[in-house]
Chain A
Amino acid sequence: MSALTRHIPASHSGLWAGPSRFRSLTEAGVGAFLLLCATITVLTTAGIILVLGLETLEFFEKSKVGLLHFLTGTVLNPEGGKYGILPLIWGTFQVAAGSSVIALPIGLLSAIYLSEYAPSRVRAVLKPALELLAGIPTIVYGYLALLLVTPVLKAIFEPMGIPVSTFNVASACIVVGVMIIPLVSSLSEDVLSAVPRGLREAGYALGATKFEVSTRIVLPAGLSGVMASFILAVSRAIGETMAVVLAAGMRPQITLNPFDSCETMTTYIVSVTGGEASYGSPEYLSLFAVGMALFLSTLALNLLSEIVLRRYREVYR
Chain B
Amino acid sequence: MSRPASSLYEPHRRIRVLAGPVFGAACFLATLTGVVVLSVLLGSIIATVLHRPGVHPWYDVASNTRDLYEFLKALVTRVRSRDPALAGFRIGIVGSLWLLVLVAVFAIPVGIGAAVFLEEYAPPGRLRRVIQTNIANLAGVPSIVYGILGLALFVRAFGLNRLALGPTLWAGGLTLGLLILPVIVIATQEALRTVPSSLRQAALALGATHWQVIRDHVLPVALPGILTGTILGLSRAIGETAPLLMVGAAGSILRLPRGPGDRYTALPVEIYNYAKEPSAEFSTIAAGGILILVVLLLSMNAVAIFIRNRYSRSVRG
Contact = CB atoms under 8 A, between A and B. Distances in A.
Contact of B23 (A38, A128, A215): A215
A3 B112 CA distance: 25
A30 B211 contact: yes
A36 B113 contact: yes
Contacts of A55: 152
Given A36-B113, A235-B140, A298-B140, A110 B275 contact: no
A19 B121 CA distance: 19
A291 B144 contact: yes
Contacts of B287: 143, 147
Given A38-B117, A136-B294, A287-B148, A246 B275 contact: yes
Contacts of B151: 273
Contacts of B242: 138, 241-242, 266, 270
A306 B133 CA distance: 9
Given A42-B130, A246-B272, A148 B44 contact: yes
B62 interface: no
A49 to B, nearest CB: 10
A44 B114 CA distance: 13
Prevailing SS type, chain A contact patch: helix
A42 B33 CA distance: 38
A10 interface: no
Given A36-B113, A44-B138, A270-B242, A185 B207 contact: no
A109 B31 contact: yes
B178 A44 contact: yes
B114 A210 contact: no
* Chain B interface, DSSP helix/strand/loop, else mixed: helix
Nearest to A232: B140
Interface in A159-212: 178, 181-182, 185, 209-212
A185 B35 CA distance: 13
Contacts of A137: 238-241, 268, 293-294, 297
A131 B301 contact: yes
A101 interface: no
Given A34-B116, A118-B31, A41 B275 contact: no
B209 interface: yes
Interface residues of B, number: 95
Nearest to B31: A110
Contacts of B209: 19, 23, 27
B142 A241 contact: yes
A238 B142 contact: yes
B122 interface: yes
Nearest to B9: A207
Given A41-B114, A45-B138, A135-B236, A1 B208 contact: yes
Interface in B32-52: 33-35, 37-38, 40-41, 44-45, 48
A34 B119 CA distance: 11
Given A27-B210, A135-B297, 13 more contacts: A41-B182, A109-B31, A110-B30, A116-B27, A135-B301, A136-B38, A138-B242, A144-B44, A146-B275, A147-B45, A209-B20, A295-B142, A301-B140
User: What 5 pairs between A and B have smallest CB-CB spacing?
Assistant: A239-B142, A137-B239, A37-B113, A113-B27, A109-B30
Interface of A: 1, 3-4, 19, 23, 26-27, 30-31, 33-38, 40-42, 44-45, 47-48, 51-52, 54-55, 105-107, 109-110, 112-114, 116-118, 124, 126, 128-133, 135-140, 142-144, 146-148, 178, 181-182, 185, 209-212, 214-215, 232, 235-236, 238-242, 245-246, 266, 269-270, 273-274, 279, 287-288, 291, 294-295, 298-299, 301-303, 306
